Amino acid sequence: MTRRGVLIGCGFFARNHMLAWRDLPDVTIVAVCDLDPAKAAAFAEEFGAGAYGNAAQMLKEVRPDFADIATTVSSHRSLVELAAGHGCAVICQKPFAENLIDAQAMVDACTRAGVDLLIHENFRWQAPIRRIAELINRGAIGQPQFLRLNFRHAFDIYANQPYLAQVEDLALSDVGLHLFDVARRLFGEVTRISCETQRLNPNVTGQDAFLAQMRHASGAVASVECSFFSHYAPDRFVQTLALAEGDEGSIELEDGYRLRLHRQGKCLEEVVEPPIPSWGARPWNLVQDSVIAFQQHVLDVLAGRTKAQPSGADNLETLKLTFAAVQSARNGGRQVKLTAS
Ligand code: NAD
């Protein structure tokens, strides 16, 4: 059965969505929409879809199986509620919402409509992160005790996404939530967090670096480190480096996708770089492959083969963690306790 989807928002990152959908079997994007008619027309021509300037009209006329929302955060609530109202499954890009009230409203709207809601949290779908999760799940390091996630680079992210230069809690709201989602995926729920932020790049308005310290419900602790103005040669963009220690072993994920499993006095090394899609290129292949993997997962969810990873309800917990980190940073790094919903 071929699923019929529509794309809302034909901007920078949506191109990855479209290229990935085109690579996947049993799915077709029948129409695209953008407030900017030129952007919708360009995608429509390139990908052989219908073009719209209004999401409501598109959903009414096309009646798709799912809507893939790739707009920026301020439009997410109205578009998710609109799509749910048309009875189609919904995929929403991160950040899911600007606040918890909107996020809860979107979860409720999809529950009421009886449709799936998935959040495009592609970091947890990156090949190296999936490999670490698999090793931890099969007990390769024993009981997890310490996690370090490190995403520090100086790649010019503002060239493709100029709006980021004006975002106040930039590092936390743009990549922090991805890293918190990965931490939850690997080590489970977090009970408290403290966070310090920095503004490093003089040409941006917001806080473009942070250091967060967390306690997981299991008792494990984690350090999450992020900067968009750190200098390494070669630059590590777009890799997340990681260290996961347990009571029986450790996993190191280093630059160049080198993954080492230390266990019983031995070290097993493998290279976990994902393939480069036919339309892709380094260093973006990590991201491009993760978009393909996430979107294949969406199709599996729609076919009833598996549960959403993450669902909107799950992503509420990641948002809570992100907002708690913002709160902590604004209060001089004071610890914030999390309560599960
Ligand atoms: P962008 O500004 O390039 O594109 C957004 C597009 O949405 C614009 O063309 C805009 O006209 C359109 N739009 C806005 N409101 C609309 C509406 N109501 N109806 C139709 N079209 C509308 O932004 P971007 O950089 O592509 O980012 C989009 C989203 O993707 C953001 O939430 C961003 O955080 C996220 N993103 C995710 C990743 C990732 O790795 N998961 C990477 C980059 C960006």
Element (H, E) at 262: strand 258-263
Q: What is the pLDDT of residues 72-119, one digit of tens each?
A: 999 999 999 999 999 999 999 999 999 999 999 999 999 999 999 999
Q: Provide the pLDDT for residue 339.
A: 81
Centroid of ligand 1 to alpha carbon of 11 (angstroms): 5
Q: Provide the pLDDT for residue 340.
A: 65
Q: Is 11 in the pocket of ligand 1 (CB under 6 A)?
A: yes
Q: 171 near 197, Cβ under 8 Å?
A: yes
DSSP state of 224: E
Q: Provide the pLDDT for residue 237.
A: 97
Which residue's CA is the nearest one to ligand 1's atom 21? 34
Q: Is 9 in the pocket of ligand 1 (CB under 6 A)?
A: yes
Phi-psi region of 102 (alpha: psi -120 to 50; beta: other; left: phi over 0): alpha
Nearest to 336 by CA among 196, 138, 225, 142: 196
Q: Which of 93, 96, 170 maximizes ligand 1 atoms within 8 Å of its Cβ, making it the mutation to test the pocket?
A: 93
pLDDT score of 341 more than 70: no
ipTM above 0.95, yes or no: yes
Centroid of ligand 1 to alpha carbon of 73 (angstroms): 8
Nearest to 314 by CA among 75, 94, 17: 94
Ordered by where they begin, the domains of the chain are 3-120 (3.40.50.720), 123-278+311-337 (3.30.360.10)
Q: Is 10 in the pocket of ligand 1 (CB under 6 A)?
A: yes
Contacts of 33 (CB under 8 A, 6+ apart): 6, 7, 8, 9, 10, 40, 51, 52, 53, 54, 55, 58
Q: Is 122 in the pocket of ligand 1 (CB under 6 A)?
A: yes
**Ligand 1 atom at minimal distance to the Cα of residue 120:** 41
Q: 56 near 82, Cβ under 8 Å?
A: yes
The average confidence (pLDDT) of the chain is 98
Q: 59 near 4, Cβ under 8 Å?
A: no
**Ligand 1 atom at minimal distance to the Cα of residue 121:** 41
**Ligand 1 atom at minimal distance to the Cα of residue 36:** 11
% of the chain residues with pLDDT over 70: 99
Phi-psi region of 20 (alpha: psi -120 to 50; beta: other; left: phi over 0): alpha
Q: What is the pLDDT of residues 271-329, one digit of tens each?
A: 999 999 999 999 999 999 999 999 999 999 999 999 999 999 999 999 999 999 999 99
Q: Is 279 in the pocket of ligand 1 (CB under 6 A)?
A: no
